[in-house]
Amino acid sequence: MELIEAIILAVLAASTPLLIAATGELVTERSGVLNLGVEGMMIVGAACGFAGAWLTGSIFIGALFGIIAGTLMSLVFALMALGLAVNQVATGLALTILGVGLSGLIGAGFVGERITPATHLYIPGLTDIPLIGRVLFGEDAFVYFSLALVAGVWWFLYRTRPGLILRACGDNHVSAHALGYPVLRIRTFAVMFGGACAGLAGAYLPLAYTPFFIPGMTAGRGWIALALVVFSSWRPGRLVVGAYLFGAVTILQLHAQGWGVGIPSQLMSALPYLATVVVLVLLSRARTGGSTAPAALGTVFVPDR
């Protein structure tokens, strides 16, 4: 029982950064913008998040630093992809290349330092309930926040007027523009939201997942988050399922090493990446014929005046 509880806790922790980053990217893509720079924004978020927490001793301020860093990175993307109508795929790649360098530069002084990681919730009585107590009432704040974030995004997209307009921009920017909606401004906000989420997701890694910073610590999680958005067919509900599934694969990989299964550790480490490929193939195959992606995803929009 203890082991199952420990595994569930570990899965939730491993899933949370994926869920936060993917939720942000989902909103971005719903507005019609494909930002491939999630990995770059995350990795800068990780470095800035750790720097913030180390300098101030506050996890909250660290998280804030991560959010600000991610948002600034996304603004660079918005300026390029929306302001200058540059190809979104290429701009996203550039953002990742730049992010990896910046993260190394910012984080160089913090390698080897440690901080006190984010504390876990403890409610006497409730958290002590066997099996479910720690899972439901003993997580760090980020885990609860990530679930609230997905719920909020669902509510925003499907239950509010601005959410409807944002989806309209993603499906047909020409019509949305003709109706008088400021397509580029809406998309800029969506991109910034995605950047803030990616920055926070990156900051989660050194602030709560491991209490230290190492270069390249996102290890492709930003790309997996991008795959998760495809996996979810651009729906927030399925995103939660997908993120937890991937978190589970990651943890399975760690535990298999601990149990001494006679499989090379590198093969186990490759599992999340292989799983991503398999999942992408299966899903794309199931959808052949009608894609569920926002119709205007990745296309350049230059308003005609």
Partner 1 sequence: MQLVLEKRAERSNTIALISPLIAIGLTIATMVILFAILGKNPLLALHAYFIAPLTDSYSLQEIAVKATPLVMIAIGLSLCYLANAWNIGAEGQFLIGAVAGSWIAVKTQGTDAGVWVLPVMLVLAAAAGALYALIPAICKVKFGASEILTSLMLVYVADLFLDYLVRGPWRDPHGFNFPTTAEFDPVATVPLLIEGGRLHLGSIIALLVIAGAAILLGRTIKGFEIRVVGAAPRAARFGGFNSNQLIILTFAVSGALAGLAGIIEVAGPVGHLQPGISPGYGFTAIIVAFLGRLNPLGILIAGLFLALTFIGGEQAQIAMKIPLDVTKVFQGILLFYVLACDSLILYRFKLVFPNRQVARGTH
Q: Which residues contribute to the site for partner 1 (CB under 8 A)?
A: 36, 76, 80, 83-87, 89-91, 93-95, 97-105, 108, 219-220, 223-224, 226-227, 230, 264, 266-267, 269-270, 273-274, 276-277, 280-281, 283-285, 287-288, 291, 302, 305
Q: Which is nearer to partner 1, 76 or 190 (CB)?
A: 76
Distance in Å, CB of 158 to partner 1, minimum? 25
From the list 87, 97, 49, the residue with the least C-alpha distance to 71 is: 49
State the Cα–Cα distance between residues 39 and 303, nearest whole angstrom. Answer: 30
State the Cα–Cα distance between residues 153 and 160, nearest whole angstrom. Answer: 10
Distance in Å, CB of 278 to partner 1, minimum? 10
Distance in Å, CB of 223 to partner 1, minimum? 5
Distance in Å, CB of 44 to partner 1, minimum? 11
Q: Which is nearer to partner 1, 90 or 132 (CB)?
A: 90
Distance of alpha carbon 195 from the chain centroid: 9
Q: What is the DSSP string of 257-288?
A: HHTT-SS-HHHHHHHHHHHHHHHHHHHHHHTT
The residues with which 120 forms a beta bridge, in sequence order, are 140
State the Cα–Cα distance between residues 203 and 58, nearest whole angstrom. Answer: 13
Q: Are residues 120 and 126 in contact, defined by beta-carbon separation less than 8 angstroms? A: no
Distance in Å, CB of 274 to partner 1, minimum? 6
Q: Which is nearer to partner 1, 20 or 95 (CB)?
A: 95
Q: Which is nearer to partner 1, 2 or 304 (CB)?
A: 304
Q: Which is nearer to partner 1, 133 or 220 (CB)?
A: 220
From the list 293, 224, 287, the residue with the least C-alpha distance to 34 is: 293
- C-alpha dihedral sign at 78, 84, 90, 94: negative
Q: Which is nearer to partner 1, 209 or 231 (CB)?
A: 231
Distance in Å, CB of 80 to partner 1, minimum? 6
Locate 15 and state its tokens.
């899933």
- The phi and psi torsions of 287 (rounded to 5 degrees) equal -100, 0
